[in-house]
Amino acid sequence: MMNFALRVECRSTRGIVAAISTFLADQSCNITDSAQFDDADTGNFFMRVSFRSEGGSGLEGLRSGFKAIASQFGMEAEFFDEGVKRRVIIMVSRFGHCLNDLLYRWRIGALPIDIVAVISNHMDYQKVVVNHDIPFHLIKVTKENKAEAEAQQMRVVEETGAELVVLARYMQVLSDEMCRKMSGRIINIHHSFLPSFKGANPYKQAHDRGVKLVGATSHYVTADLDEGPIIEQDTIRVTHAQSNEDYVSLGRDVEAQVLARAIHAHIHRRVFLNGNKTVVFPASPGSFASERLG
């Protein structure tokens, strides 16, 4: 038996769920998990279905057979094999907590991805990456060579067939052109406070203001800096008795956890863009338990 999944999005109307379930039953497929959302504000419908093909139906046959239903409802539909790992590039600068966390989760199987390269504008983590048998690419970025540096980065993406780029505290702003080329395929992580502190030393700013929560936000990268659709967020409480160093340590832990959960949701195609927002379905049973992701 083969474990597949289907994700669809379209305008909301009657009969969608019935049509999908009937089609899968007729193809000798057994549904193992299903999630759906009908957005009353936008009129959009989203659904993700995991199923076992028990009659030998393969992906191409399912895709071909489903075309009539997709056309009937004006659907964007995607069938995929849940067992195939997605190819990912990680980009990092000089803060390595998210990179090291992702490498560990990847090594123990908690994050089922294929890390095909790590790109950095510094040499700090070259040895760590190479020791994991992952190609390391040093691409320095300056104001003068930014266009050429991004061209080199895109060559790595194209040559490796990477489907996702993860900015694991990569401290360079990507150009609008690269953001457009990779729309929906770049995930970023950044600190997120109440209130939000920008610029240098955000944790010190938070400490000086006596905030009670520190947190992180993971989102898709767009041309609007740090304004892309949000995938995952989390916070942790802090107190007046904790130091600036405590804030930094706790903040880094939250950043690593939030980024890992966002990647997990993306690679399992549980994230749907819904205008400037996202619809994020919970993890399917058996798709690596959420508690293993922190």
CB contact set of 169 (below 8 Å; sequence gap of 6+) = 92, 93, 95, 96, 97, 98, 99, 189, 255
- Minimal CA–CA distance to 272: which of 151, 184, 213? 184
Residue with tokens 């832990």: 253
**Residue 124, token pair as written in the block:** 């700090």
**Residue 141, token pair as written in the block:** 């970025």
Largest CA distance in the chain: 63
SS3 86: strand
Q: How many helices (H) and strands (E) does the chain have?
A: 8, 13
Residue with tokens 């790595």: 156
SS3 115: strand
Active site residues: 226
